[in-house]
Amino acid sequence: MDIFSGRITSSGFSSGDRIVIGDWKDSPFGSFTNIMWAKSGGSRVLLSPSENLAEYVSSLYSFEEVKITPIIVKRDKRGISVKAANLEVKMAWSLAFPIPLWRPKWFISSIENTIAVRFFNTSTYGLTRNGRREWYSIRGISKVIHGECIIDGVNIGQSENFEIDACFGFSEPPKWPSSVVLKSYID
């Protein structure tokens, strides 16, 4: 079983672009950050710091384009800034709503998944593109209170709810801009 521990921060933007930043403190690949970008035209891009990470992530989720590029990351207590290729993203979040204790996988795939679908329009359990089972165990969720994204030097608008699904995999980020502390279990 592969276990990833870290934070996923996501937002839609008024341009129609959707950005998901995976900032992983601990994983089978060590510490890393990658970016999933659903462009306003519908194509999905993975920005990855290495080839082996890109191969692994693109086996789990769907992309039309994969770019291997250095990713420069700056972290604050309640914010993250990333620069990768032609993309610059900054997001800041509020205090987290904490969720105590790590729950067992059976709880995540049943009770927690029902709550996630009903209240957040997302899933905490499902099958990856290559048929592996994945569980998202959430420990805290925060609302993104500020988000900005610059593509090719152009500001693409305000942070806002996802109006169109990103369609990377079985689970969508919450519709509203959010930052989630979690562990991902992939079996």
Euclidean distance between CA atoms 20 and 2, whole angstroms = 20
Type of residue numbered 149: C
pLDDT of 101 reads 87
AA identity, residue 106? W
Distance CA(171)–CA(121), nearest Å, equals 9
Give pLDDT, residue 163: 79
At 139, give phi and psi (nearest 5°). Answer: -110, -20
Q: Residues 122, 180: contact at Cβ < 8 Å?
A: no
Tens place of pLDDT per residue across the chain (187 aa): 999 999 999 999 999 999 999 999 999 999 999 999 999 998 999 999 999 999 999 999 999 999 999 999 999 999 999 999 999 999 999 999 998 888 999 999 999 999 999 988 899 999 999 999 999 999 999 999 999 999 999 999 889 988 788 899 999 888 899 999 999 999 9
* Whether pTM exceeds 0.85: yes
Q: Report the C-alpha gap between 10 and 108 in whole angstroms.
A: 21
pLDDT at res. 49: 97
Give yes or no for a contact between 95 and 79, defined as CB atoms under 8 angstroms apart. no
Taking the chain, what is the end-to-end CA distance rounded to the nearest angstrom?
A: 5
Cβ–Cβ contacts within 10 Å for residue 74, how many? Answer: 10
The confidence score (pLDDT) of residue 61 equals 97
pLDDT of residue 103: 93
54: its two tokens: 């890109």
Q: Write down the pLDDT at residue 158.
A: 86
Q: Considering Cα of 151, then 36, then 85, then 32, what sign does the dihedral take?
A: positive
- pLDDT for res 121: 86
Residue 35: closest CA among 91, 111, 107? 91
